[in-house]
Structures are given as structure tokens and as C-alpha cells.
Chain A
Amino acid sequence: ETGVTQTPRHLVMGMTNKKSLKCEQHLGHNAMYWYKQSAKKPLELMFVYSLEERVENNSVPSRFSPECPNSSHLFLHLHTLQPEDSALYLCASSQDRMSTDTQYFGPGTRLTVL
């Protein structure tokens, strides 16, 4: 595998379920990000991790819980979600946290909350 991978690609869950999204980067990068992409809205940054330490938490509800066990893996744990949480969740990585850094995105997980 190369680049940034995400699993699962599609997820349907009920409001009472608990599920997790997984992201893995094979680029040796130090920073990883979770974004939410909803139709016709700008990308919403959710969390940023740098060297496994959470450095940004962009006022995200507590029903979303990130985890970064090492610099290559990032998880987003989901519980008691709402239908408005249905969206494409994108993981990204960058070499460091520099303003000039390119972000490398995974293909996303399409989440539907029933």
C-alpha cells in the first residue's frame, strides 16, 4: 500500500452503534488530520495530531473520539451519532505542520447515520 489508506470505505450505522474509522499513512509523515466533508460546505477540520500528540481539536462534539497510537495510524471512534453526522470523513497527513506543507488525503469513509 502507498499513500494514505482508509477503512472502511463505506459505513452505515444506527444512532446507538459504536464504530471506528481507521487511517494509515505510508509516507513517514509526522502530522495527521481528520476532516469532515459535507455536500457544498467547505472542508471542516476536526482534529490534528503531531507525533501522536493531539494539537488541535476544532470544537468537535464528544461523540467523536480520535486516537493516534503511533505516527502511522489514526482512528476516529464514533458513538451515539446523529443523522447530521452523515458525511465523507477524510484523513490526511503532512510531513510536518508547516504552512507550505502539502496535505496527502486518503479516499475517505462515506458514513451514513440512520
Chain B
Amino acid sequence: AQSVTQLGSHVSVSEGALVLLRCNYSSSVPPYLFWYVQYPNQGLQLLLKYTSAATLVKGINGFEAEFKKSETSFHLTKPSAHMSDAAEYFCAVSDSGGSYIPTFGRGTSLIVHP
């Protein structure tokens, strides 16, 4: 069984500030972890994924995430927020034990203020 918790349904930052979106997972086997972004009126788009290679994963649009097994976390960060980053962000987990269907978190809405 696997689950994902995204802390904070809304995160508000100023343009240029650090973005930190939190994701904690639970999995009985080594996980594979994903971050997806959903812009208004669009489907989800992959930002980055961890599949047991390097623990620091770099994605598109300047985002990165670090897999920390001891903390069961996979937080998403970006050094400097842009207005265009305003969107809904979803963390997802699948496992290496055979369940290929990812479990998605409830999402975090990122609000960027000028």
C-alpha cells in the first residue's frame, strides 16, 4: 500500500522568493516519486521524477526535488518564483513492488504575488 500527503493546500510566495512544496509518502517497498503540474484549463504535466538513481532530481522550469528516505519526503523547490509558476502541483508515488498505478496527493495550489 502507498499513500502521499501534501502539506498545505495553498502556498503563497512573492515573485523571486523561494518555492517549497512539501510531499511525504508512505510505501511498503522502495518508491518511485513524481511531481506533476497542472496549469488552469490543462491536464497534468510531468515536472520531474525519482526512479532510484540520483536522490536530487532536476526537472523542467528550474524545479528540483530531493528524495530523503529517512524523512520519507520528496519536497519540490525552486530558488526564485515566477508569476508563470502559479498552478496546482501534485505529488505522486508508485512502487517497485508491482503496482504501476501512481497514487496522487490532493494537490497544492501555488500562488505567486508580484
Binding site for B on A (CB under 8 A): 4, 6, 40-43, 45, 48, 56, 90, 92, 97-108
A41 and B102 form a contact (CB under 8 A)? no
Taken together as a complex, chains A and B put the C-alpha atoms of A6 and B34 apart, in Å, by 23
A97 and B44 form a contact (CB under 8 A)? no
B92-114 at interface with A (beta carbon < 8 Å): 94-96, 98-107
**7 sampled A-B residue pairs with Cβ under 8 A:** A42-B104, A42-B107, A43-B104, A92-B43, A97-B100, A99-B95, A108-B42
Taken together as a complex, chains A and B put the C-alpha atoms of A92 and B42 apart, in Å, by 12
By a CB distance below 8 angstroms, the chain A residues around B104 are 42-43
By a CB distance below 8 angstroms, the chain A residues around B101 are 45, 48, 56
Taken together as a complex, chains A and B put the C-alpha atoms of A101 and B49 apart, in Å, by 9
By a CB distance below 8 angstroms, the chain B residues around A101 are 100
Question: Is B61's CB within 8 Å of the partner chain A?
Answer: no
What range describes how many residues of B lie at the interface?
20 to 34
A43 and B95 form a contact (CB under 8 A)? no
A41 and B106 form a contact (CB under 8 A)? yes
B43 and A102 form a contact (CB under 8 A)? no
By a CB distance below 8 angstroms, the chain B residues around A97 are 100
B96 and A99 form a contact (CB under 8 A)? yes
By a CB distance below 8 angstroms, the chain A residues around B95 are 99
**Given A42-B104, A42-B105, A43-B104: A105 in contact with B44 (beta carbons within 8 A):** yes
CB-based nearest B residue for A33: B101
B64-114 at interface with A (beta carbon < 8 Å): 90, 94-96, 98-107
A99 → chain B closest CB, angstroms: 4
Taken together as a complex, chains A and B put the C-alpha atoms of A45 and B103 apart, in Å, by 9
A100 and B49 form a contact (CB under 8 A)? yes
By a CB distance below 8 angstroms, the chain A residues around B90 are 43
